[in-house]
Structures are given as C-alpha cells and as structure tokens.
Amino acid sequence: MSGDKLARDQSNNQRFKDIYVHASQEPWIPFFPGIDFKVLRATQETGHWTVLLKCPKGSGIPRHEHLGAGEYYVVAGRGLLRKLAPDLMLLQEVNPGSSAVLADAAGAEWIVQAIDLRTPEPVDSPVRRRGVAIAGHGLHPCRSWLLGEIRFSERVLLIETQMEGTPFIAVSYHAPPGVTWGIVKPRQAVAFRFLVVYPECAVVVRSRRQYAAD
C-alpha cells in the first residue's frame, strides 16, 4: 500500500465516525395499525435508513412501493412475505449459488446475471464473483449486455424486453461501496447517467411488496 493511499484512507476514516444507538432507549413510533418502529439510522447524503419494527402476530403492512433496494432481518419470531410477484426485480450483489433459489421463491420465470456475461479473471476478488441481476415474469429479454468499457462492468446490467406490448430497456446499477475507489465511481455514474438520458431507455426502479407477521 502506497503512503499516499494510506494517508488518504486515514483522512477519510476521520470523517466517518462510528455511531452507537441504544435501541432500548429509543421511543416506539406508530407506523401501521398494531405496528410500531424505532429509527436506528438515517442519512440525508445517501437516503439510506435503518429501522427496528415491532409487528404483533397477525399484523401486516399493506401493499406499498420501494424506490430502492432493502434488507430485512427477523430478530425474533417469524416474518411472512405474503406476496412477492413484481414484473421485474433489479438485484444487487447476487450470489450465484443462491440466485436460482431467490428467483424460484419470487416466482420469476427468468433471471439474467451480470457475472454470466463477463469472463472471470484469475485475480477476481470474492466480491467480483457476484454482481447485479435482473429477474422477471413474461417474455425473456431479447438481449442483455454490460457496459464493457468501464471497470467493474458486472455492476451495470442492461436488458431489452417488453411488457404489454411496450418495449423498453431496464438497467440494474450498483455503485461500488466504500470511499477509496477513486475515479471508478464517477466514471460509472457518468456512464449510467448517459444511459438514462436516452429517451428510449426506460429505467425500472420500483418493486411492490406486501408483508405480514406470522
């Protein structure tokens, strides 16, 4: 590791302090009938947030929209996903060993994985053996491709398909994590933005879910 990179990492680390939240001291906030939540983290910079939900047996969250990816952990009891049947699912950091299980659980009729569209390299790190993916119902995509002219091309996957007779292009995009990627993130963002400004490129970013507590 070069001295410049070490100094840069140390400087960046000073900007990002650890945050400790005592969940037991935070108030429960009413959410849906019978369901409360506690805010554990929220950031305006990225729009990410983390909450703790309390869902009594038999309660449920009605159908709603997600404008981005979400992660959910059941810390006690059991959670039941009543229905997960979006027309398209845009997936991040897909583990090839579990992608088929995920697609089957969601009732998807097809799945396209970015890692299947690039040639693995001997120096690939574990994270490069994963990548974005798109799964869905109905017609299989007529074509799929990566932005091969950028680094970490497995993080920008495009497919061309149609629904109800309307053709469109869907993109699954995942920026590299961390703050030490240098120019890679901006170049990926510019390439992604270049795609979005095309009138014929409809980027699908929504999914619909309905949850219940069992």
CA proximity to 180, closest of 60, 36, 7, 24: 7
Residue 71 pLDDT = 66
Would you say residue 167 lies in a domain?
yes
**Number of separate domains in the chain:** 1
- 84 — pLDDT class (breaks 50, 70, 90): low
Would you say residue 54 lies in a domain?
no
Residue 209 pLDDT = 42
Residue linked to tokens 């969601």: 106
The domain spanning residue 123 has which CATH number?
3.60.10.10
Q: What is the mean pLDDT of residues 46-54?
A: 82
Q: What is the mean pLDDT of residues 115-140?
A: 81
In the three-class reduction of DSSP (H, G, I as helix; E, B as strand; rest coil), residue 79 is classed as strand
Would you say residue 19 lies in a domain?
no
CA proximity to 90, closest of 208, 206, 209, 210: 206
Residue 82 pLDDT = 56
Select the more confidently predicted residue: 91 or 71.
91
Its pTM stands at 0.55
Q: What mean pLDDT, rounded, does the chain reach?
A: 76
Question: Residue 95: in which H helix or E strand, if any?
Answer: none
Domain containing 115: what range?
81-213
Select the more confidently predicted residue: 178 or 103.
103
Q: What is the mean pLDDT of residues 123-145?
A: 83
Please report, rounded to a whole number, the percentage of residues in the chain having pLDDT higher than 70: 74
Q: What is the mean pLDDT of residues 64-80?
A: 68
Quick check: 211 pLDDT over 60? Answer: no
Quick check: 198 pLDDT over 70? Answer: no
Would you say residue 49 lies in a domain?
no
**Angle CA 89–131–87, to nearest 5:** 10
Residue 202 pLDDT = 43
Compute the distance between CA of residue 92 and CA of residue 21 in angstroms, rounded to an integer. 27
What pLDDT, in 10s, does the model give residues 1-49? 456 778 887 777 777 666 777 888 889 999 888 889 888 887 777 777 8
Q: What is the mean pLDDT of residues 194-211?
A: 49
